[in-house]
Amino acid sequence: MHKMTGSGNDFVLLDGRSAVPEAWPAARVAALCDRRAGVGADGLVILTPEGPGAIRMTYWNADGSRAAMCGNAALCSARLAVHLELVPPGELCLLTDAGVVRARAPVGGDQAEIGLPGFEVAREVEGLEPAAGERWMGFAQVGVPHLVVRVDDIERIDLLGRGRSLRFSPRLGAAGANVNFVAPGPAGQPWLIRTYERGIEGETLACGTGTVAAGLLLAARGEASLPVTLRSRGGEPLLVEADLNGDRASNVWLGGQGKLVFRAVWEADGFDPAAPASVTPNCTTK
């Protein structure tokens, strides 16, 4: 298995030539992603070759629930697919539950780009009103649903309390939505973004599709010009490019990090803590 990070959003990725999704029920995924008893990750990805230049990207959240798409996981998937020689460097296609995602991963480095299907942005969300310190809310379905909340100060938000309340708002449907808080950075610096992510049920250090949603809503409201750079909680910048015609976004691209951290073998399955050790150390002192 391979551990990767995309701007602090981290994942375990498996080579689909030797791993199949059917072998990963929700409980096993959650055990792998557990940060104390497992490897620790925001999600699990299996990459399976599906023909020339095409990779099936199967994705689970850390709690074992399937998700249609994850932007940072897609950036990591594109990089690893090239690293493992599942596809040649350059352009490739990721086949996700949210549809076909175009990607670019050059030789070397830890950067990649993904192209996303067009979508509509909603500048208002009926029935949801900004709280103190919040200026507006907007919504976009970027593979998965995102509520974007424009705030004055990214450090003063109650991310867990306010984020959880909005994530489960009935106004966002039965499945709820990820909640992305966005605020201006220091003068001349990128916009800042923090995310309460469903399936994690807490803060993640980066959210690729949420960054796209935030960037497009900032542009739609005239607060930013495309392309726009946003800095995640993990500290890495993400670049959002798109054509925006009214509230319709097209030719959408996200650029960011897909860094390989380590390779490993997970020994949890089949391990019997009651079994005798194969080697008994000699602890006699003289």
Question: Whole-prediction pTM value?
Answer: 0.86
pLDDT at residue 267, as a whole number: 81
For residue 71, what is the enclosing H or E element?
helix 71-83
Task: Tell me the pLDDT tens digit for each residue of 174-225.
Answer: 999 999 999 999 988 999 999 999 989 999 999 999 999 999 999 999 999 9
What is the pLDDT, as a whole number, of residue 254? 97
> What was the pLDDT predicted at 205?
93
Active-site residue identified among 33, 70, 76, 93: 70
Mean pLDDT along residues 217-242: 96
Question: Which structural domains are found in the chain, ordered by start?
Answer: 2-116 (3.10.310.10), 119-256 (3.10.310.10)
9 close to 264: Cβ distance less than 8 angstroms:
no
Burial (Cβ within 10 Å: 0-12, 13-18, ≥19) of residue 51: exposed
H or E segment and range at residue 181: strand 178-183
> Which of 150-154, 155-159, 195-199, 269-273 has the weakest average pLDDT?
269-273
Q: Is 207 a catalytic residue?
A: yes
Calpha distance 277→279 (Å, rounded): 5
The confidence score (pLDDT) of residue 269 equals 62
φ/ψ of residue 265, rounded to 5: -120, 125
Active-site option among 33, 93, 207, 283: 207
Whether 76 is a known active-site residue: answer: no
Residue written as token pair 């629930």 = 65
- Quick check: 271 pLDDT over 70? no
